[in-house]
Structures are given as C-alpha cells and as structure tokens.
Amino acid sequence: YMKILVTGYNGSLGKLVCSKFSNDHEIIKINCRNINFDNNIEIKNFLKNFLNIDVVINCAASLRPKSRNDFFINEELPKFISDYLELNNQKCIFFHLSTINVLISLRNDNYTKSKRKAEEKLKNSKTIILRLPLIFKEKNDRIENFGNLSLFFKYLNFPLPFYPMIYPGHCYEPLNIKKFIAFLDQLIVNKKNDKLIFNISGNKKKNLWEIFKEIADQKNKKIFKINVSKCMPTFLLKYFAESNSFLQQLVNIDNSKFEEKKHILE
C-alpha cells in the first residue's frame, strides 16, 4: 500500500493511471491547470500535497501549448516538483511522462520543444523519465476512441461518402496502454531503479495510414490515399516539418528511428 500522487489526472492517460492503482493504493489527484504559479500562497498549498507521498506520476501536459501556463506545465513544472521532492521527501519516486518525439530531430512543434526543455532541466535530478510513443487503447482486438487517435474517430463520424487521408504519414511503434500501465506498475513495485530514462516502444511498426485504415475498417468507412510528398514542393514540406504537430503529419517522419536504446514492451 502506497500514497501515489498523479498530476494531470483528468487527461486520457492520467485517468487510466488513477484507475489502475486506486484499488491497491491511495491516490491523490492534482489538476495543475487550476493553479496560479505566480501566486506564492497557491504554490505553497500546491506543494503541501507532495509531503509524505511515496510515488509521484507526472501526467500533466499541454499537447498544444499556447498560454504561459501551458508552457509552464510542460517545461517548468517537472523540475519544480523534482526540486521540492529532493529537498523534502527523499524516499519519494518521481516519474515524469515525456515523449519519444524529443529524440526525433524533425519534430520541432511547440509540444515537442517544450518537452525537450523539461528534460534538459531534469538532467541532474533523480527523476525517472518515461518517453512514450503513440499510445492506443484496445478492446477485443479493436482500437478504441482514446488519446490522440480520438481525432480519427471524430473525423470518421462526419457523414461523408469517403474519407481522404495522408499516405503514408508518420511512422510509429504504437503501444497498447495496458502494456505501459503494467510496466509502470512493475517499476513502482520494484521501488528502486538505476535507470533514469526509458525510451519505450511497441513491438510493431505502423504508419499513420495503416492505423487510420484499421479504425476505418472497424467502422466500415471508405477511405482513399493522398500522397502529399509527391504533390507538394520541397520547401513547403520543410516548412510543415518545422511547424505545429498537426501540420507535421503532412510530412513522412519516422518516429521510430533514433540512436538511443529502445525499451520494447512485448
């Protein structure tokens, strides 16, 4: 039995983390978006939540950061928490959920850049960083409406005769959320780990089109390919590659290729 604090508990991933551990542990939920980090009183009240905690899991993140608070949550908050824990709660294990995007040079959208900055600030801390790939949820061998893939479900719910989609799109090594939760559970049970960064991946490579087709087939929708790279000038592709995460989908980036060692969850 442990006291586990989860930031970002209201997001897709945070909800599942809380659900998994609530049966055997006490869960303390924190919504960072409601906190004014310019207010010293609010900061003190926020930090009180971290006293006498066994495990902290930082799921808080803004996928499309725009405001000052969005960037603070992505870039500053992890170090803010880590520093406090090291000063006041040496026994606490701190997990920071990051993204495999930080290792991909072409990924330069605001979300990825802010997560890179967060990791740079955590370099000399005892934080365990879990870099996640594209996450999906599955039931009875069918992909469910969850996380980033919810955009596909919304798109396919529009009443259209057919649905155009980028081909081939980004390549991923997507990971079933159940496998990640089981892995996180194992790390928590072991309590100690000398490895501070895990580059997590699934065991099968898929491109954006293949994932979209799988969902479309489930919903009996007709789709067709748009090969953007063959009909768009090189300078525009370069621009999109350095643009926001949505426009980056117009460029075929392989998110599975990086030099650091992978931790494949079978």
Q: Are 97 and 61 in contact (CB under 8 A)?
A: yes
CA pair distance 75, 113, nearest whole angstrom: 9
pLDDT digits (tens, 9 = 90+) for 179-188: 999 999 999 9
Reported confidence tier of residue 7, pLDDT bands at 50, 70, 90: very high
CA pair distance 140, 99, nearest whole angstrom: 27
* pTM metric for this prediction: 0.91
Residue 152 has pLDDT above 60, yes or no: yes
Long-range contacts of 89-92 (CB under 8 A, 24+ apart): 89/50, 89/51, 89/52, 89/53, 91/54, 92/50, 92/53, 92/54, 92/55, 92/56
Q: What is the DSSP string of 130-165?
A: EEE--EE-EETTEE-S-GGGHHHHHHHTS--S-EEE
What percent of the chain has a predicted confidence (pLDDT) above 90? Answer: 67
Look at the block and give the residue holding tokens 């643009």.
243
pLDDT digits (tens, 9 = 90+) for 86-95: 998 678 999 9
- pLDDT recorded at residue 207: 94
CA 192, 194, 198, 202 torsion-angle sign? negative
CA 177, 183, 185, 187 torsion-angle sign? negative
Identity (one letter) of the amino acid at 161? P
Reported confidence tier of residue 76, pLDDT bands at 50, 70, 90: very high
Two tokens, residue 70: 């969005």
Buried b (16+ CB within 10 A) or exposed e, 8-25: bbbbbbbbbbbebbeeeb
Residue 36 has pLDDT above 90, yes or no: no
CA pair distance 203, 44, nearest whole angstrom: 43
CA pair distance 37, 257, nearest whole angstrom: 37
pLDDT digits (tens, 9 = 90+) for 104-148: 988 888 899 999 999 999 998 999 999 999 999 999 999 999 999
**CA torsion, points 193, 115, 62, 26, in degrees to nearest 10?**
10
